[in-house]
Structure 1
Amino acid sequence: MRLLPVTPRPTSTRARAVAAVLTLGLLSACSAGTEPPVTPPEVGPTPTMLDKAPVEMVQAEAPECLSDGIAYATVGGGDASASVAWAGSGDRGVLYAPQVDGDVCQWADELVRLAGAGYLVATYDWGADGEVGFRAALDVLKATGAQRVAFVGASAGGTLAAGLADDLDAVAVVALSPPAQLGEVDARAEANEFTGPLQVFSSTDDPQVPATDSALVPRNDMTSVVTQVSGTLHGIEFMGPDSYHADHVRNVIDDALAAGFGA
């Protein structure tokens, strides 16, 4: 099947995600001699500071959809490079995977929201290869302090989240409209040994991924649930400003993270 790209919606400037830009490798810290900025209470602590980046990265100009202070860099080199955005701190990491041809703007609001809730959060531009970006974002999370990581993904990003969860030791997965397979990544429950919380959302009349296909991803147990809603919502559209289901999806994400991290 052919997954159509979804044009990222503009993200309004919300609470600033972090007060200081991450000092990683070639990412420079804010200059001295000025009053330090005040971090809004809901945003949470500054990202983990490192003297030297364990992954190759080059600072890049962040898109306007990202709140001031969110770190943004090109990670890796050559065909294995990807643009990654991240915020927050701590040892609990959350990786948000976009849809095909999607970028960091798709999950920009969630980056701010979960950074404010005490998580270290990353997302990436899909680029030429979504799995390359997925792994680059995971490298950034681990490099900046994450010891355990949960995956959330939309459409093909959801396939990566569910299909790679076992191999990459995820603690929880939430997938919105995931195809059961994407190239060599097989997200079907029968092909995986992942046993953590696994939540899947689908729509009865999804024009891109049939609900019956997404239904192959969750296991048949109490911690793995598929929620099917009426309509045509697909992937990131579940989180849209006009989506009736957006708050419920966020609650499910929060509950899956709490269960996965043992909170």
Structure 2
Amino acid sequence: MRIALERASVQFGKLAVTDEVTLAVESGDFVTIVGPSGCGKSTLLNAIAGLLDTVDCRITGRVHVEGDHPGRPRLAYVFQRDTLLPWATILANVETGMAIQGVPKAERVRRARELMHTVGLDGFESYYPHQVSGGMRQRTQLIRSLAYEPEAMLMDEPFGALDAQNRMLLQAELLRIWERRRMTTVFVTHDLAEAIVLGQRVVVMSRRPGRVKRVYDIPLPSPRDPFELRASPQFAKLETSIWADLRDEFRPAAA
């Protein structure tokens, strides 16, 4: 799936959130987006997903999503907040998207169990969300989105609420799944190290109204190990270069 933003601007009332954002995400790319709070990172994801209500906001420019299948593109959206169904078991939560698609029960269970095994959730099929840890709930959210085989993943700080150890474990699992499936992925984060570890490209956004300040290619080898990568000189050099661009956007604007 290819995603293209062409001079995309979003305005809520008098508040300009993004300003003429142009960005192309090719099929199979993994692109991460960093920038200060309020610069429109999540708004761009919502625009791509078609979740912005044009009654409440004004959108100009072009947001184009081109899938491999006719009709509505298969987009998965993974949020930072927990969106699991509290009354459903972990297994039933993973099945949710497939059930909506009309996938037969036996196939749903097979796929769900296979994905649960992939992320180490074997044995927790009958547990409910409140009975498992935050990291396990995020694993469940991730594989629930993968279960119906989306063409693209939109991810809005999905690991932001986790401790550092669980975050790196989930980064490793996401990279492993992406290496195998190569689904187009746009991942928003406030964590520059996370953006570098995960992305083939890192998009740096300016302060609001958000613009694309610069796009960095990340020439790190694959497969990537989030633990080992952070200790490499190449990673440190990239982090220093990107932070030099990013830090100015966190400083107050000159009067």
Same fold (TM over 0.5): no
Tell me which protein shows more helix as a share of its residues. 2
Q: Which has the higher contact order (CA 8 A, sep 6+)?
A: 2
Max Rg structure: 2
